[in-house]
């Protein structure tokens, strides 16, 4: 490299090599990693060895390379067991793709045998994929119709499982991935099209059409086939992502500002009718994200159970957890049902999103239950800011610009200012559900705070906060923070704003410092680790980090 200053892309590549070794290479787990970018023409720089333990990239020219290696070896503690160079070189290396990376790999027909392996010591999705394949084979043999429910906590790889089915395992059969999450569909389509035709033009338009066939908005799919009442869907198998969020009859039949609804039933009921148009067998794979209901009108698992029970031509297979939720709306059926068979291989249990700890989702669940003891017991890539759509007073803290183009936000890289990495705009729960970032900065809002030892949900109306009394809306707000807290593959940094103190002549009662202090104290008591003091940090509510 001939420049006097190291190139940003070279630094990024070196950093990624180091983090890949740390996260995906069995022989490198628990071993200090010192990334060094060798740039012969770069001017000599001072060494800062304490930063090694944060895996910050060092830059070396010919004059100081030897000194860096010698000083690093002297500073690193002797391991309990000496590293066997041969064993290290032959250790398993299993990189884990993000949702975007997985879609790209599978769409290009690359072999991804370990697509679900998050860490070198985690299980992959083979067990669940095989269970789905068994039901499909049974449907073919019997000429029957089945709904397969795949359940799991946030971050276990349900979307990866669905993409793997559509783009890999069922490519020759013909399958479509349906999703009501508009940002997820938009970003995935754009990523596949840009990958296939980076130069644009007619090739890009063709790639975009192909991506639209494979990845469809479920609401438009339903409208299309309800209007064309006798048209048979092209795919015999559909994968319905976040199927518990399908609309109930009231929401499905309601006219919106931009559309007139042609639906007369709930979305699950219409899905069954449309897929039953096939002569012979058909299969619906319903991916169920527990705790992801964030909108009024989402029917839940109970509606799926009701419509399947009402149509004797359909049967279902699911894990037993689908009938054991505390919320009746999220139970497929109460008790036994003749149309339902159980297969616990359809329940995904190993988190795949949070790569450095498989217990991140458990921590989020404990925090949202208010269970401090359970939360405390928990054992540069793409970054971005997220915040609740209901956190209306965050604009007073300088966070008031929502992401304008979600595809650019997820796909562009810094120094393009449209990228999430610019940290200039934030994504809400509606923008980022189903997608992920490597490092997430979560700005906590005043819509969900601690009061008298309980979570208090609020909505902002006019000039003040109003307490949310309805149980359903409270649950949506709680699930909003479940979504936001589980978007990171590596770390989530939680920012609790300082709020406004009473002594301030411009005191803002919509941002009380005492409320933010109480939230910060609760998160700290729950095991969130305070970041070290920073120049901009207030004495009121500290910046908190939870390494997930």
The two tokens of residue 208 are 């975009």
Q: 223, 263 in Cβ contact below 8 A?
A: yes
Stretch(es) of the chain classified as CATH 3.40.50.300? 126-348
Tell me: the pLDDT tens digits for 459-502?
999 999 999 999 889 988 999 999 999 888 778 999 999 998 87
Kindly report the backbone phi and psi dihedral angles of residue 395, in degrees, each rounded to the nearest multiple of 5, phi listed first.
-65, -30
The two tokens of residue 433 are 């559900």
**In whole angstroms, what is the distance from residue 443 CA to residue 158 CA?**
26
Q: 125, 161 in Cβ contact below 8 A?
A: yes
- CATH node for 126-348: 3.40.50.300
Q: Which of 91-105, 147-161, 314-328, 511-525 has the highest mean pLDDT?
A: 511-525
Q: In this predicted structure, what is the pLDDT of residue 232?
A: 94
Cis amide leading into 345 (omega within 30): no
**In whole angstroms, what is the distance from residue 544 CA to residue 541 CA?**
9
The two tokens of residue 401 are 């610009």
Tell me: the pLDDT tens digits for 214-235?
889 999 999 999 999 989 998 8
Mark out the alpha helices in 108-255 (DSSP H runs): 126-142, 158-164, 182-196, 201-214, 218-227, 249-252
Question: b or e along 480-495 (b: 16 or more beta carbons within 10 Å of the residue's beta carbon)?
Answer: bbbbbbbbbbbbbbbb
Q: In this predicted structure, what is the pLDDT of residue 37?
A: 84
Tell me: the pLDDT tens digits for 70-89?
877 777 777 777 888 888 88
In 3D space, the residue among 238, 293, 251, 204 whose CA is nearest the CA of residue 478 turns out to be: 293
Positive or negative torsion for Cα 450, 451, 453, 454 = negative
C-alpha pair distances (Å), 409 with each of 76, 104, 179, 182 = 39, 17, 20, 14
Between 458 and 434, the more confident residue is 458
C-alpha pair distances (Å), 174 with each of 158, 170, 171, 177, 277 = 19, 6, 5, 10, 16
Q: How many other C-beta atoms lie within 10 A of the C-beta of residue 216?
A: 20
Per-residue confidence band for 142, with pLDDT thresholds at 50, 70 and 90: very high
**In whole angstroms, what is the distance from residue 342 CA to residue 180 CA?**
27
Per-residue confidence band for 56, with pLDDT thresholds at 50, 70 and 90: low
The two tokens of residue 227 are 């209007």
**In whole angstroms, what is the distance from residue 288 CA to residue 242 CA?**
5
Q: How many other C-beta atoms lie within 10 A of the C-beta of residue 178?
A: 28
Q: In this predicted structure, what is the pLDDT of residue 4?
A: 62
**Biggest alpha carbon distance in the chain?**
78
Q: In this predicted structure, what is the pLDDT of residue 537?
A: 37
Q: Average pLDDT for residues 197-213, to the nearest whole number?
A: 85
Long-range contacts from 459-464, C-beta under 8 angstroms, 24+ separation: 459/390, 460/390, 460/392, 460/393, 460/510, 463/510, 464/509, 464/510
Q: In this predicted structure, what is the pLDDT of residue 109?
A: 54
Return the SS3 of 362: helix
Reply yes or no on whether the pLDDT at 122 is more than 50.
no
Tell me: the pLDDT tens digits for 377-433?
644 568 899 999 999 999 998 888 888 889 999 999 888 999 999 999 999 998 988
Q: Which of 201-215, 361-375, 418-432 has the highest mean pLDDT?
A: 418-432
What share of the chain in percent tops pLDDT 70? Answer: 79
Reply yes or no on whether the pLDDT at 256 is more than 90.
no
As a whole number, the mean pLDDT across the chain is 81
Tell me: the pLDDT tens digits for 290-311?
655 556 678 889 999 999 999 9
Question: b or e along 297-326 (b: 16 or more beta carbons within 10 Å of the residue's beta carbon)?
Answer: bbbbbbbbbebbbeeeebbbbbbebbbebe
Q: In this predicted structure, what is the pLDDT of residue 541?
A: 38
C-alpha pair distances (Å), 126 with each of 105, 176, 239, 350 = 17, 20, 17, 12
């Amino acid at each position: 490299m001939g420049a006097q200053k190291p190139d940003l892309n070279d630094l990024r590549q070196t950093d990624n090599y180091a983090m890949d070794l740390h996260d995906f290479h069995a022989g490198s787990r628990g071993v200090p990693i010192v990334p060094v970018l060798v740039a012969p023409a770069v001017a000599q720089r001072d060494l800062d060895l304490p930063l090694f333990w944060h895996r910050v990239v060092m830059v070396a020219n010919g004059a100081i390379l030897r000194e860096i290696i010698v000083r690093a070896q002297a500073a690193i503690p002797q391991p309990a067991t000496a590293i066997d160079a041969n064993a290290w070189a032959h250790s398993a290396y299993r990189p884990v793709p993000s949702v975007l990376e997985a879609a790209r790999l599978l769409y290009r027909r690359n072999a991804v045998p370990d697509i679900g392996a998050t860490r070198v010591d985690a299980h992959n999705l083979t067990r669940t994929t095989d269970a789905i394949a068994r039901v499909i084979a049974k449907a073919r043999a019997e000429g029957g119709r089945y709904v397969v429910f795949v359940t799991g906590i946030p971050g276990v790889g349900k979307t990866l499982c669905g993409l793997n089915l559509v783009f890999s395992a069922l490519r020759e059969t013909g399958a479509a991935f349906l999703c009501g999450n508009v940002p997820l569909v938009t970003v995935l389509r754009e990523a596949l099209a840009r990958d296939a035709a980076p130069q644009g033009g007619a090739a890009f338009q063709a790639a975009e059409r192909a991506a639209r066939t494979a990845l469809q908005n479920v609401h438009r799919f339903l409208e299309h086939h309800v209007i064309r009442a006798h048209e048979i869907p092209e795919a015999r198998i559909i994968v319905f992502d976040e199927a518990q969020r399908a609309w109930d009859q009231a929401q499905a039949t309601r006219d919106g500002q931009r559309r007139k609804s042609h639906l007369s039933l709930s979305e699950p009921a219409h899905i069954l009718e449309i897929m039953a148009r096939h002569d012979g067998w058909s299969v619906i794979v319903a991916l169920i994200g527990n705790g992801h209901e964030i909108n009024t009108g989402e029917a839940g698992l109970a509606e799926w159970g009701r419509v399947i029970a009402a149509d004797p031509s359909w049967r279902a297979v699911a894990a037993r957890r689908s009938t054991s939720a505390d919320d009746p709306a999220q139970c497929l059926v109460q008790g036994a049902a003749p149309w339902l068979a159980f297969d616990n291989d359809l329940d995904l249990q190993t988190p795949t999103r949070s790569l450095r700890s498989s217990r991140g989702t458990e921590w989020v669940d404990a925090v949202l239950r208010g269970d401090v003891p359970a939360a405390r017991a928990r054992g540069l890539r793409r970054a971005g800011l997220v915040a609740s759509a209901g956190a209306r007073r965050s604009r007073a803290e300088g966070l008031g610009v929502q992401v304008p183009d979600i595809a650019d936000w997820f796909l562009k890289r810094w120094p393009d200012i449209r990228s999430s990495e610019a940290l200039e705009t934030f994504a809400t729960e509606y923008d980022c559900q189903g997608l992920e970032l490597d490092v997430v900065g979560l700005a906590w809002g005043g819509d969900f705070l601690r009061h008298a030892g309980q979570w208090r949900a609020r909505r902002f109306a006019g000039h003040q906060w109003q307490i949310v009394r309805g149980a359903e809306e409270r649950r949506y707000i709680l699930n909003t923070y479940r979504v936001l807290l589980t978007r990171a593959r590596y770390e989530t940094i939680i920012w609790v704003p300082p709020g406004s103190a009473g002594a301030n002549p411009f005191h803002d009662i919509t941002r009380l410092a005492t409320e933010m202090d109480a939230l910060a104290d609760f998160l700290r008591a729950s095991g969130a680790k305070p970041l070290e003091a920073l120049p901009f940090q207030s004495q009121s509510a500290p910046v908190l980090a939870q390494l997930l």
